[in-house]
Amino acid sequence: MTEPIVVATDGSPAATAAVEWAADDAARKRLPLRIVHVLDRLPYDIPRYPIPDLHDHLSRSGGQILDEAERIARDRSPDIEVTVEMAEGDPVHVLRRRAEHAVELVVGSRGLGGFTGMLLGSVSTHVAGQVEAPVIVVRPGAATVHPEIVAGFDGSLESEAALAYAFEEAGVRGCRLRVVYAWQIPVYVYAPELAYDMDETRRVQEDFVADRLAAWRERYPGVDTVLDAVSAHPVTALVEASAEAALLVVGSRGRGAVRSLVLGSVSRAVLHHARCPVAVVRPKAPVEGETPQADI
């Protein structure tokens, strides 16, 4: 059975945007779409002050949310296979389990009810980078169509996984891929007794990333690839590039300039400030007995 794209919904504007994005991606990739709504009693379940018929109320509300999300997805992409599921429990735990059998997991940037504050907090730290499926965080609001995908790259295994996803997305969309490699000037460059050739440093950085991209360009000859090797903080470089992007793709962890890209301050900054959907991609675990490879 083909694994689906899974999208979480709670009826919020961000969740609606996530459903629309997931339906579009399912149509592009010719994959089934599974819409999940999680019943989370915890914010309402106070033993001393129980709410009568709480489960029935949440179930009815959840059913309406799923019906509306299914309608939106079918109107958006009539040819895709759509199924819905209502689950109960902690949203983070439920979504992590669903992601185990998904091509990708799509969530909104903010939610309502049991999802309040979750998607830029708990999901970004406990789902993104913690499950093997790519996690896409979508903001609400009217989306501007940009014919470009941006991928952050730092030479690590994690950023190689991000490149793989970004090239696949650019291939199915038929759009340009911009690879952003952010490097920063070493602190000792400001020591007056040390000579430092900035032009040579820039050439070394550009040659390094161009060499790493060569194999990817051979694998995806139909994808127009642009390299931006910039001397800047990675958050600044990625957020600025996201302004003209349909999707920003980052790895779950990095090294060098983008260390702890997703599970630390850089990831939170990117998720909060990026002006387009953000895909967080983790390297797949190697098969038992198989030697992991950093390069393609």
**Residue type for position 76:** R
pLDDT at residue 81, as a whole number: 97
Name the residue among 157, 256, 175 with its Cα closest to residue 166.
175
**3-class secondary structure per residue, the chain:** CCCCEEEECCCCHHHHHHHHHHHHHHHHHCCCEEEEEEECCCCCCCCCCCCCCHHHHHHHHHHHHHHHHHHHHHHHCCCCCEEEEEEECCHHHHHHHHHCCCCEEEEECCCCHHHCCCCCCHHHHHCCCCCCCCEEEECCCCCCCCCEEEEECCCCHHHHHHHHHHHHHHHHHCCEEEEEEEECCCHHHHCCCCCCCHHHHHHHHHHHHHHHHHHHHHHCCCCCEEEEEEECCHHHHHHHHHCCCCEEEEECCCCHHHCCCCCCHHHHHHHHHCCCCEEEECCCCCCCCCCCCCCC
What is residue 200's predicted lDDT score, i.e. its pLDDT?
72
Q: Say what the pLDDT of residue 128 is.
A: 67
Q: Cα(36)–Cα(7) distance, rounded to whole angstroms?
A: 6
Residue 287: the pLDDT is: 39
Q: Which domains does the chain have, with CATH numbers?
A: 5-138 (3.40.50.620), 148-281 (3.40.50.12370)
Q: How far is CA 130 from CA 114, 186, 268, 281, in A?
A: 21, 31, 15, 10
C-alpha span between 198 and 218 (Å, rounded): 30
Q: What b/e string do you get for 135-153 counting C-beta neighbours within 10 Å, with b at 16 or more?
A: bbbbbeeeeeebebbbbbb
pLDDT in tens, the chain (296 residues): 689 999 999 898 889 999 999 999 999 999 999 999 998 765 455 454 445 555 666 788 889 999 999 999 999 999 999 999 999 888 888 999 999 999 999 998 865 544 444 444 455 556 766 788 999 999 887 667 789 999 999 877 778 889 999 999 999 999 999 999 988 765 554 555 555 566 777 787 778 888 889 999 999 999 999 999 888 888 999 999 999 999 999 987 644 444 444 444 666 678 788 999 999 888 876 534 444 443 33
- Predicted local confidence at residue 59, as pLDDT: 83
Strand order in the sheet with 148-152: 82-88, 33-39, 5-8, 104-108, 135-138, 278-281, 247-251, 148-152, 176-183, 225-231
Burial readout 32-48 (b: 16 or more C-beta within 10 A, e: otherwise): bbbbbbbbbeeeeeeee
